[in-house]
Amino acid sequence: MLIFISLFAVLCYAIASWLQWQRATGQRLEVRPTVLISGFIGFVAHGVSVYHTLHHEAGIDLGLFSMGSLISWLVAALVIGSSLRQRIDNLFIGVFPMAALAVLLAAVMPTSETLKPYGSGLFLHILLSVLAYSIFTLAALQAILLWRQQLALKQHHTRGLVTSLPPLQIMERLLFEMLWVGFILLSISLLSGWLFVDNLFAQHLVHKTLLSIAAWLIYATLLAGRKLLGWRGITAIRWTIGGFLLLMLGYFGSKLVMEFIL
């Protein structure tokens, strides 16, 4: 049952991604409703898959692939919801294939994570962390689009994907809106970790904790630089990607080592 639901989600995401790519490159312009419907159906099927992947009789599965599927599902939710009020449809091209891969891996790869119930405080910490990671994933994709747009304009390539993007000023504003939301969530997540996790610097958590703090410092510096020094463009893109890589290495790198190497 789970594999069929997941494959259906993959199919819907693939259709939406392909149509959006054709729309972005000017091959088919009047397909936005179909893109949104296909993406939304895939999102709903993905949500059902996430529920069955996470919930078991013995507890909640917080393994590498199940959490990857959850985060990609939340990213898809954010992009679909935001696309109703902002011109960010081109993020579908990156988000939907990522979500398709994540939901498929979660369905076919067995977890080695020990299943267990979680207290409300620890569950809140996990939820805030996942939300922060999701927002920063979206910000990283936005930064990549912004970099591509700047490069194309500098080289006077104003055809294809670039023509369907909002102006640079709006793209930058959207990026920093995402960064502020993610930064606030990450700050609360780290604070809740100090309150509800027994020892954040235990052997199995120390790398995740240190890299998360390092990412927090990078984002704090970027936001302060934007406010005080007017940082923008390639500087903002580099700091955004750098913080994202640290954050993902801290979470998924630790998960990978703990579940598949040690």
Domain range annotation of the chain: 1-117, 119-262
**Cβ atoms within 10 A of the Cβ of 248, count?**
17
Q: Is the pTM of this model over 0.85?
A: no
Contact 249, 218 (CB under 8 A): no
Alpha carbon distance 260, 246 (integer Å): 20
Would you tell me the crossing angle of helices 64-83 and 32-54 to the nearest 10 degrees?
Answer: 150
Tens digit of pLDDT at every position of the chain (262 positions): 889 999 999 999 999 999 999 888 777 778 889 999 999 999 999 999 999 988 877 767 777 888 899 999 999 999 999 888 887 888 899 999 999 999 999 999 866 555 666 667 787 888 899 999 999 999 999 999 899 888 887 877 666 666 667 788 888 999 999 999 999 999 999 998 888 777 666 656 678 888 999 999 999 999 999 999 999 889 999 999 999 999 988 877 766 655 555 5
Alpha carbon distance 109, 115 (integer Å): 15
Contact 139, 239 (CB under 8 A): no
**Cβ atoms within 10 A of the Cβ of 1, count?**
8
CB neighbours of 224 closer than 8 A, spacing ≥ 6?
none
